[in-house]
Amino acid sequence: MTNSRLEKKELVEKIRQYRIDIIEMLHRAGSGHPGGSLSAIDLIASLYHYEMQHRPNEPLWPGRDRFVLSKGHGVPAQYAVMAGMGYFPKEELKQLRQINARLQGHPSDQFLPGIEASTGSLGMGLSFAMGCALSAKLQGESQRVYCLMGDGEIQEGQVWEAALSAPKFKLDNLVAIIDYNKGQIDGPTNEVMNLEPLMDKWRAFNWHCIAIDGHNLDQIEQAFQEARLTQSKPTLILAHTVKGKGVSFMEGVIDWHGAAPNADETAKALQELKG
């Protein structure tokens, strides 16, 4: 099996459970990043369940598509999906951020099979993903490469070096996704370092650009399909999202960028998600 195709209502239910998993593992760990994990979960779940060719029981299968989570602090979302698809036992989610555990606070390819790149130092993921895509092209292979970045992250200069390079090599097997929740640890992105006009910038670098609601599963799927049909240039998907999506008191609140919920907050969040 390469990917697990679900009915849309089944995926909606899966994602609801993934949000529960995120809250539970962050509370148990006592640290981590709920805001950006919850904003990205629809995108990551859609990639694994609908878009990518991969084998949970054979994580190093050479023919797999590659996913690079450049915003490594959002890895609880990736862990939730990977556990849900059978990459490792779901019980292992309880070990998030424990010393010597495979589920580190940022993804590590040295600890967990299925993680393509060790990330967390922001700004580096797109360069790595571009290298994977270029390698596939040079070897005549069909793999596609997906890189999910944070909006605050793309203030890093290395992102724009990669953005300049990928179109030069006509990497139409590369899809960059921006989780545009408009908040970073120091505040709103438009106050810390305004990114707009963001789509115009990527178009000027000769990327095929698509703007979507990053919580609308139909729009996410359609964007991936459009990216597959795009030739001779990479695709940028600008996904408008809500930080802390799915938990009312976290939604759009910058303070939930990197703070784990306490017992009362966890109970309130789980009541919402399970209700």
> pLDDT value at position 4?
55
Across 28-40, average pLDDT: 98
Across 56-73, average pLDDT: 97
CA 56 to CA 35: how far, in whole Å? 27
Residues 44 and 50: beta-carbon distance below 8 Å: no
The model's pLDDT over 75-123, given as tens digits with 9 standing for 90+, comes to 999 999 999 999 999 999 999 999 999 999 999 999 999 999 999 899 9
Domains assigned to the chain = 8-274 (3.40.50.970)
The model's pLDDT over 199-255, given as tens digits with 9 standing for 90+, comes to 999 999 999 999 999 999 999 999 999 999 999 999 999 999 999 999 999 999 999
Across 177-205, average pLDDT: 97
> pLDDT value at position 1?
42
Percent residues over pLDDT 90 in the chain: 97
- Model confidence at 154: pLDDT above 80: yes
Across 14-20, average pLDDT: 98
Q: Angle between the 8-29 and 263-274 helix axes, to the nearest 10 degrees?
A: 170
Q: Which residues pair with 183 in a beta bridge?
A: 188
- Chain centre to alpha carbon of residue 221: 15
- Model confidence at 275: pLDDT above 90: no
Q: Which of 103, 87, 89, 14 is nearest to 50 (CA)?
A: 14
Assign 3-class secondary structure to 219-256.
HHHHHHHHHHHCCCCCEEEEEECCCCCCCCCCCCCHHH
CA 233 to CA 247: how far, in whole Å? 37
Across 9-22, average pLDDT: 97
Q: Which class for 140: exposed (0-12), middle (13-18), buried (19 or more C-beta within 10 A)?
A: exposed
Average pLDDT, the chain: 97
